[in-house]
A = this chain, B = another copy of it.
């Protein structure tokens, strides 16, 4: 399997074998993440965030530092040359001179793919439009693998905004490569996109619901997402949805003992604070897992591990 110099644009570009390989390397990175290393000493990561994302940006930067490399970049489009009217192609053909690898977030779908077509250095998609967030999907899978010991055979629910949330699209594609049962729980106006549904339904059993009831007791993994007020034209509609998708200790009484709850964060109030100390919560563990997964990708792409 060759990762050297590879672009990471879409989870759809990955085979199951490739995902499993990345997860294996990620696990090997756990002690490296704790100790630090010189694997990428002298290498530079550019983080080009045309859209702010503290979490993803800091995760990439921490991963690079833990491998002994350096980082440069910008955190929002306003301070980029974009302001002066520069297009993505020119930006990446410039920045590729400064860096050995580029992690990029952009509000437009297709932006990362376009960048990769012009860049000589590898591009890692840190989120583009509402469509793709491949490194998030990989860390989600890594978390499930680490916590459950496997992915095959699990019942997994994705809950919340399945229409605009980019993490659930990438995750759904990735999960469809495994032998799982998928439950999609969302309000009618925020249902999973058809183009995603079409693909994953050919591979795994998928059940769509508008209601969280009955799901919590059924599944092994509950993947919650943030429901944003802006998505609802009617505030009353938002209030109703918001209330009905909230996970708290009461609702968890019916859960399997070893249910794990994930969330890409930040959350607003989909998960009550009282759940944080329960045996189910894994959403902060996910954050750590994001570091080791990104370390694995950086080390693979820059040929420091094979």
Contact = CB atoms under 8 A, between A and B. Distances in A.
A41 B90 CA distance: 32
A113 interface: no
B35 A42 contact: yes
B54 A74 contact: yes
A268 B58 contact: no
Given A79-B76, A265-B90, A266-B90, A98 B59 contact: yes
Interface in A60-104: 61-62, 65-66, 68, 70-76, 78-81, 83-86, 89-91, 93-95, 97-99
Contacts of A99: 62
A146 interface: no
A55 interface: yes
A98 B291 contact: yes
Interface residues of A, number: 54
B52 A83 contact: yes
Contact of A54 (B41, B79, B89): B79
Contacts of A36: 41-43
Protomer copies? 3
B288 A97 contact: yes
Contact of A81 (B55, B70, B79, B84): B55
A84 B226 contact: yes
A44 interface: yes
Contacts of A273: 89
A247 interface: no
B284 A94 contact: yes
A284 B58 contact: no
> In this complex, which of A59, A76, A98 has the most chain B Cβ atoms within 10 angstroms of its Cβ?
A98
A243 B75 CA distance: 34
A90 B35 contact: no
Contacts of A123: none
Contacts of A79: 52, 54, 75-76
Given A54-B74, A84-B226, A98-B287, 19 more contacts: A44-B62, A44-B66, A52-B78, A52-B79, A53-B81, A54-B81, A55-B81, A55-B94, A58-B74, A59-B98, A62-B72, A62-B97, A89-B273, A90-B266, A94-B266, A94-B284, A97-B284, A97-B288, A97-B290
Interface of A: 35-37, 41-44, 46, 52-55, 58-59, 61-62, 65-66, 68, 70-76, 78-81, 83-86, 89-91, 93-95, 97-99, 226, 265-268, 273, 284, 287-288, 290-291
List the 8 closest pairs (A to B, CB-CB), nearest first. Answer: A36-B42, A86-B266, A62-B98, A65-B70, A97-B288, A97-B287, A52-B79, A61-B72
